[in-house]
Amino acid sequence: MSDTTRPVVEISGLHKSFGSLQVLKGVDLQVRRGQVVCVIGPSGSGKSTLLRCVNLLEEPSSGSVVVNGVELTDPDCDIDAARVRIGMVFQSFNLFAHLSVLENLTVAQRKVLRRSKEQAEEVARRNLARVGLTDKEHSMPAQLSGGQQQRAAIARALSMDPEVMLFDEPTSALDPELVGDVLGVMRQLAEEGMTMLVVTHEMQFAREVADQVVFMDGGGIIEQGDPADVIGAPSHERTRTFLSRVLDPTHHGPSDPTG
């Protein structure tokens, strides 16, 4: 499991269909230890589905997903045990609404990892400090701002000591002035060497923090590589079109039929 040469996440030949709708059409992707990979692309391109396939929240139709050397797509794989090492952060935070912030961070540690109350709270407080929420441990989720909720959700995932963190558009549901707090925490995580797979619309974050950027469209990877190349000088026409719309939303080129 701690084989340093082997990628933490290995996705190969991944297909996913919802009914007759093919969302993923054969995706291959690897994330090495300590690497930050950002997935960008238009809505409906399958990037969130790809991420959700990595911890099997969506069951792939075919292909294989191997995380930390465990093949999750094996039908006999203990998926609950495997998910402990895969942290997931959702667009809509999904903090447990009936538990305080501290309880949100300790409940899985105690029920799944069987840590003692003292140990779980110690880990939880350490992670709350990491995301700057030390004074909020007794608050209920509904009393926090969106940015605070998302940071608490990140701390909750970190409390399980994951090998890799998955971020599913973590800032898309936030008010613009709160985005920075969450991105700051993510940048700090990246600098600490966390392995991260991030689906995001934050091009600046991808450009500055990612080791690799993957552009997806139509259920497949169109291009991937160094952020300076993919975002700065995209080689593919679809990437260029997407980036020009994202980076300059008020500009409507003549090639844009909907503009």
Beta pairing, strands 212-217 & 220-225: antiparallel
Find the shortest distance in angstroms from Cβ 55 to other proteins: 6
Whole-number Å distance between alpha carbons of 245 and 4: 39
Query: Is 137 in a helix, a strand, or coil?
Result: coil
Q: How far is the CB of 184 from other proteins (least distance, A)?
A: 22
Q: Is 147 helix (H, G, I), strand (E, B) or coil?
A: helix
Q: Which is nearer to other proteins, 45 or 109 (CB)?
A: 109
Closest CA to 123 of 95, 86, 165, 160: 160
Q: What share of the chain is helix, strand, coil (3-state, %, to 5)?
A: 40, 25, 40
Calculate the alpha carbon distances from 183 to 167, 186, 202 in Å. 11, 5, 9
Distance in Å, CB of 162 to other proteins, minimum:
10
Q: Which residues contact other proteins (rule: CB under 8 A)? A: 55, 57, 80-81, 83-84, 86-88, 90, 92, 94-98, 100, 107-108, 111-113, 139-143, 153, 156-157, 160
Half-sphere exposure of 32 (CA within 13 A, CB side): 7
Q: What spatial distance separates the first Cα and last Cα of the chain, rounded to whole Å?
A: 50
Q: Closest distance between other proteins and the C-beta of residue 250, in Å?
A: 33
Contact indicator for 165, 33 with CB cutoff of 8 Å? no
Q: Nearest distance from residue 197's CB to other proteins, in Å?
A: 13
Q: What is the DSSP string of 205-234?
A: HHHHH-SEEEEEETTEEEEEE-HIIIIIS-
Query: Shortest approach of other proteins to residue 168 CB, angstroms?
Result: 10
Q: Which is nearer to other proteins, 51 or 213 (CB)?
A: 51
Judged by beta carbon, residue 140 or residue 203, the one nearer other proteins is 140
Cβ proximity to other proteins, 58 vs 211, nearer residue: 58
- Of residues 114 and 259, the one with the C-beta less far from other proteins: 114
Residue closer to other proteins (CB basis): 111 or 252: 111
Residue 248 has what DSSP assignment? Answer: S
